[in-house]
Amino acid sequence: MKMKKTTRIVLSVILGTVLTGLYYYLVLPPLNVHSTGFWISLLLIMLFYGIPLGLVRLSLPHGAGGVGRFAKTTPDKAEKKSVGSKVFLVALAIPVAVLAIGGLLSSTFFNAHKYASVASVTEAAFSEDMPEADVVSNISLMDTESAQIIGNRALGSLSDVVSQYELSYTYNQINYQGTPKKVANLEYVDLFRWLNNASVGVPGYVMVDPVNNTAEYIRFDKPLKYVDSAYLGDDLMRKLRFSYPTKIFGTVNFEIDEAGNPWFVVSCMAPRVGLFGAMDVSEVILFNPCDGSSQLYAVADTPAWIDNVYNGYLACEKYDWYGTLSGGWWNSVIGNKGCKQTTDNFGYIVLGDDVWYFTGVTSVTGDESNIGFIISNARTGEYKYYPVVGAEEYSAMRAAEGEVQEKGYVASFPSLINVSGQATYIMVLKDAGGLVKLYALVNVENYGIVATGATQTEAKRAYLDLLVQKGLVEGAETPDQVENRSQVTVMDVRLAVLNGQTVVYLTGDDGCVYKGFLDEDETLILVRAGQDLSLSWVEGEHPPIRILKGWIFLGGK
């Protein structure tokens, strides 16, 4: 039976509406003309309506390939339908033209100086901003891969949790109560785990200490309802999109405030050049994943405890615009006069209350040296440049790996510290399992000066010795180089395995703990509680723990 024209149109509109609603619910495009995703979605939605209505198929001339009832359409009807099809094709061309022309007019070719002005960079003094410290406690030396290994171990003993949840693959760097931490919330393993636990929610997160290489699983007082691995209305991005339909979302970072409350920090993007160009953070959404409430802030008004507004890749990209396009587009392609760019990775450092990204700056000509370094504030987007010339990060990493090449350790991306006025890379060396085995210090100006140690204190002591030998610093001993001697009665002996090393802890009657390494002195296994010992030691990183350098048996048990 032949379907009436009106019925056919109604059914086509219903089908197009269903497809459009399903597409929006699944893809969640922003309703914003500055998003390329919006124009692509508009193009697809027009096809959702146009194809069922036959507007695309009817664009063929009458008799030229038409089939079925369309081949029998009279010339007058075919002409009317052909007009409709042409109008539809013109409508389809609009989003295509916007994407092409808007992208071209927003490009660096026409707007080099505008791109270069997105980042404002201030030159600063390295020794003033980064004073020397006995122990580096404000730098995250652990990369995400190592954090994942330690975090999974902390979760592994919790059978009720690990069977239903998994840790987010993203470990966000935060400054928690003055020290760097990495945090990752739990996520549902799959759809069925979500169905089983949606009423319960996500119960906790893991906090990793990237300085001391430890991890702790922490339960929420109130579980999370909205997370990335949830479905339907509990899906984090769906909740955000329905609450903010016009916002262009950037990165979404899990953080905790100083009181330990969980939040998602959502960066909202807007173009700084043309219709689509130089996308930068314009606003910040602070989202409560427990109850779904949220607050929108201008970047300048973002609460001080928030750490991640700009991500490291955006920070590097903005500096690259500044470094390569300040002399114009043609100069960035031909000549490269004064052009500079960041290295292709970054580290983290905590200064004051904020997390900063750190990366080297090198010439675009591609030599293996840095002409300086930048740090970028992850919350405010502020930049500082330090004109410190020396080896680029990957050269320093290879130098550190070569120092212990027989062990096959791999270096993490380094950060920069001040050691007796010398700009110095600090990094960790990991084994094949991703565990931290050694610390390494490499001189920036002369990356042939390399020192390693099982602890920061040992590595720094060896590094200072090398600086003295090379005549770069005076030979006066620093406090952590001075060996002390104490006579104590051993009250307790304990053994622990840390990063694959067996550590012996001797608790003395003086209230101090003396830390020794069995692979350095296997006679430590002979020490017993109640013995009187004469101990040689140096100050450790965490008083009253002292690093044991030797011992002599005096008496006792």
Give residue 227's pLDDT: 95
**357-394 burial code (b ≥16 CB/10 A, e <16):** bbbbbbeeeeeeebbbbbbbbbbebbbbbbebebbbbb
> pLDDT confidence of 58, banded at 50, 70, 90?
very low
Task: Give the span between the Cα atoms of 197 and 73, in whole angstroms.
Answer: 58
**Tokens 């039976």 sit at which residue?**
1
Give residue 80's pLDDT: 55
Task: Give the span between the Cα atoms of 283 and 292, in whole angstroms.
Answer: 18
- Residue 35 burial (CB < 10 Å; 0-12/13-18/19+)? buried
Mean pLDDT of the chain: 86
Secondary structure of 60-121 as H, E, C letters: CCCCCCCCHHHHCCCHHHHHHHHHHHHHHHHHHHHHHHHHHHHHHHCCHHHHHHHHHCCCCE
> C-alpha distances in angstroms, 281 versus 298, 303, 379, 380, 552?
9, 15, 10, 10, 62
Give residue 1's pLDDT: 47
Q: Which of 34-48, 403-417, 464-478 has the lowest mean pLDDT?
A: 464-478
**Tokens 């990335």 sit at which residue?**
228
Give residue 149's pLDDT: 84
pLDDT for residue 494 is more than 50: yes
Mean pLDDT for 358-374 is 85
Tokens of 120: 């404002």
> pLDDT confidence of 70, banded at 50, 70, 90?
very low
Cis, peptide link before residue 479, omega less than 30° from 0: no
Contact by Cβ (8 Å): 230, 210: no
Question: SS3 of 251, please?
Answer: strand
> pLDDT confidence of 241, banded at 50, 70, 90?
very high
pLDDT digits (tens, 9 = 90+) for 81-123: 567 678 888 888 999 999 999 999 999 999 999 999 999 999 9
pLDDT for residue 313 is more than 50: yes
> pLDDT confidence of 59, banded at 50, 70, 90?
very low
- The DSSP annotation for 469-504 comes to HTTSS--PPPGGG--EEEEEEEEEEEEEEETTEEEE
Q: pTM (2 decimals)? A: 0.78
Please state which CATH number belongs to domain 483-556.
Answer: 2.40.50.140
User: Residues near 448 by Cβ (< 8 Å), separated by ≥ 6?
Assistant: 399
Question: SS3 of 7, please?
Answer: helix
CA atoms within 13 A on the CB side of 283: 14
By C-alpha distance, which of 290, 286, 292 is closest to 306?
286
Cα 370 from chain centre:
23
